[in-house]
């Protein structure tokens, strides 16, 4: 298993637009080998004393936090999908993103402990 995680500030009024883009892009990810994709919309994100989700993405008043992850069977499949994305017209087809991509944070992770499922 290989995991990509994302934290994205999205204007609250653009929730439906975000969901439409995510639905299209997440379907593409599944077609390219992802085994699971989750898009989670903020319900309770508390301010921390030193850092928190909002500060991590410089969220401003009126923005909600999206916490998202993609599960891949392995790193090779994830990297092959990233490479396939470079020449794929899907990004242009989705149009303008309903969030500021410069403030999105993301990373790739190898599990060190897993329970459940």
Owner of token pair 């410089």 = 58
Query: Pairing relation of β-strands 63-72 and 36-41?
Result: antiparallel
Q: What is the residue extent of each domain of the chain?
A: 1-7+40-68
State CA 60 to chain mean position distance: 19
Per-residue model confidence (pLDDT) at position 93: 84
The structure's pTM equals 0.92
Under the banding of pLDDT at 50, 70 and 90, the label for residue 94 is confident
Q: What is the pLDDT of residues 27-67, one digit of tens each?
A: 999 999 999 999 999 999 999 999 999 999 999 999 999 99
Residues 6+ apart with CB under 8 A from 72: 1, 2, 3, 4, 33, 34, 35, 78, 81
The greatest distance separating any two alpha carbons of the chain, rounded to the nearest whole angstrom, comes to 43
Under the banding of pLDDT at 50, 70 and 90, the label for residue 17 is very high
């Amino acid at each position: 298993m290989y995991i990509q995680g994302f934290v994205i500030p999205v204007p609250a009024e653009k929730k439906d637009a975000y969901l439409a883009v995510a639905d299209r892009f997440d379907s593409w990810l599944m077609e390219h080998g992802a085994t699971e994709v989750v898009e989670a919309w903020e319900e309770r994100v508390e301010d921390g004393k030193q850092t928190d989700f909002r500060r991590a993405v410089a969220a401003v008043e009126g923005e909600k936090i999206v916490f998202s992850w993609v599960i891949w069977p392995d790193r090779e499949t994830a990297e092959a999908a990233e490479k396939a994305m470079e020449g794929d017209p899907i990004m242009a087809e989705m149009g303008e993103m309903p969030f500021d991509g410069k403030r999105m944070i993301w990373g790739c992770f190898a599990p060190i402990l897993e329970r459940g499922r």
